[in-house]
Chain A
Amino acid sequence: MTVITPTMSTWLGVIFTLFAFSFLYKENPFYRFAEHTLVAMQAAYTAVLEYYNYVKPAVQQDILKGGRTWLILAIVVGLLYYTMFHPKLSWLSRFPVSIAVGYGVGYNLAYTPRPFLVQIRDSFTQIKDVNSFLFVLFLLCTLTYFIFTISHGSKVVRYGAISGRWIMMITFGYMFGNTVQGRFSLLLGRFLFLLKDAFHLVK
């Protein structure tokens, strides 16, 4: 059964877009309503999606059909998270937390350093043209800015650090420009939705 038709969906989109835009004038209850609805909707959506897309197939395939009944133990350990709502049993929630943290730390320590080491190595070994050379030079200048263990009295270190500061400022400007462009794109997306999909004012 379809609860929300495409037309209703579009109009809900229009109403909530306007509610969100109303914040540009000033804080108001309509904006708050839209904000809270979005958060609640995402939480509900994620719960339902994870159940149908992962939990249900896992139980059906692995436990009921596959006979891997030991997985029930993992479910029980996972459910211990909810004991944190009970003052006397809340200590039990430390078990799943410690397993998750231990797994995460161990796995990250094993895998995470590699990409950064590869990146550092390849930054220095792939100097093929002027741009590559400038990349390495700017990298060294920026690193020099953050060296505080040696004196900035020598000209090399001092000018390297000053150059590094300028390079960072230019980079931040570039990042800001990208951010502005990205934000305009989001706004344009909403305008196009209102003008094209909702009110059919443009093709």
Chain B
Amino acid sequence: MSWEKWQNIDRRIIYLLVTLVLIIPIFKPMGLPITVQKDLTGLFYDRFDKIPAGSIVYFDAAYSPAQDAEITPMVKALFKQCMKNGVKIVVGGQFETGVPFINIALTQVAAETKAKYGEDYVEIGYKPGGVATVRVMINDFWEGAKSTDFYGDSFNTLPLMQKVKKFDEKAFAAIVIFESGSPGMETWYTYTPKIPLYKASVMVEVSGSLPYLKSGQLKGVLPGMRGAAEYEKLIKAPGAATKLMDAQSAAHLLVILLLVVGNVGYLMSTRRGKA
């Protein structure tokens, strides 16, 4: 047997295998158990759930369309939790492409939860200018956001916005950033350090966030699709992430199998070379 072949499987065969192990569980879910990570998702839920009714939370859409599959389940789960607890939401975005995607997600979930636009939540949309704009919003939210929401309507017509004059800890009980890259959480822990910051992040970003969680600069980290599935379990509202976790698990088993195959091939070919 040629052990070298084990190390050099055609990448197209691997793509085909990955496609199969991802698609089959979507049709035939295995119902694998989802355990909640206490130090990440559990911690996020416990702290976020304590935000009192009537408080206002700021959602920041700092993600691009490619990350929609990971982020949208988290957006929906957190929105449902806020509406259930009577927490109001102001939605902005540091990524211009994240704003329409969070709008689609919120429009769907607002219909389910019967949330009223303008009273329970407001979308202010993307505001260009980076930290310069944020700085203006800290002193005068309306001025920085140009008093205009995502739909082009004036803040004067939106009751919730009458309670938001400055971007400070008096107006906002928390900031939740849905992040897939930069600019991201550094905007908030740098310029609004007094407002508790929560991060719902793509998996790639999680390891870099943990020192911030340890130091207390982040109050919670929600790790990717797995975190979304765990959160759906905690709020008792299974959604898209729960549905896709079987496929995730199957794909990871395949990766482990391929790692073993490649390494066995390497070890055997090395041993034969020595002999």
**Interface residues, chain A, CB within 8 Å of chain B?**
24-25, 42, 45-46, 49-50, 52-54, 57-58, 61, 103, 107, 111-112, 114-115, 118-119, 122-123, 126, 132, 135, 171, 174-175, 178-182, 184-192, 195, 201-202
Q: Report the interface size for chain B: residues with CB under 8 A from the other chain.
A: 58
CA distance A52 to B148 in the complex (A): 10
Q: Which of A119, A171, A188 contacts B215 (CB 8 A)?
A: A119
Query: Which positions 161-195 of chain B face chain A at CB distance < 8 Å?
Result: 186, 189-191, 193
Asked if residues B22 and A187 are in contact (CB atoms below 8 Å), the reply is yes
Asked if residues A184 and B248 are in contact (CB atoms below 8 Å), the reply is yes
Q: Which of B69, B127, B202, B203 contacts A53 (CB 8 A)?
A: B127
Nearest opposing residue in chain B for A171, CB measure: B207
Additional 11 contacts, C-beta under 8 A, given A53-B128, A178-B223, A192-B26:
A46-B97, A49-B125, A54-B128, A175-B207, A181-B224, A184-B18, A184-B252, A185-B69, A186-B66, A192-B244, A195-B26
Residues from chain A with a CB closer than 8 A to the CB of B217 are 115, 118-119, 122
Q: B126 CB to closest chain A CB, in angstroms?
A: 6
Asked if residues B69 and A188 are in contact (CB atoms below 8 Å), the reply is yes
**Interface residues, chain B, CB within 8 Å of chain A?**
12, 15, 18-19, 22-23, 26-27, 66-70, 96-97, 99, 125-129, 131-132, 135, 146-148, 150, 152, 186, 189-191, 193, 202-204, 206-208, 211-212, 214-217, 223-226, 240, 243-244, 247-248, 251-252, 255
Residues from chain B with a CB closer than 8 A to the CB of A175 are 204, 207-208
Residues from chain B with a CB closer than 8 A to the CB of A50 are 96, 126, 128
Nearest opposing residue in chain B for A24, CB measure: B15
Asked if residues B97 and A191 are in contact (CB atoms below 8 Å), the reply is no
Residues from chain B with a CB closer than 8 A to the CB of A119 are 211-212, 215, 217
A-side interface mostly: helix
9 nearest CB pairs, A to B: A189-B69, A182-B203, A122-B215, A57-B146, A185-B225, A119-B215, A178-B203, A57-B148, A185-B70
Asked if residues A45 and B132 are in contact (CB atoms below 8 Å), the reply is no
Residues A181 and B26 in contact in the complex (CB < 8 Å), given A50-B128, A58-B146? no
Asked if residues B96 and A192 are in contact (CB atoms below 8 Å), the reply is no
Q: Which of A112, A132, A171, A187 contacts B190 (CB 8 A)?
A: A112
Residues A191 and B22 in contact in the complex (CB < 8 Å), given A24-B12, A45-B97, A178-B203? yes
Residues from chain A with a CB closer than 8 A to the CB of B23 are 191, 195
Q: B70 CB to closest chain A CB, in angstroms?
A: 5
CA distance A102 to B131 in the complex (A): 14
Residues from chain A with a CB closer than 8 A to the CB of B125 are 49, 53
Asked if residues A202 and B97 are in contact (CB atoms below 8 Å), the reply is no
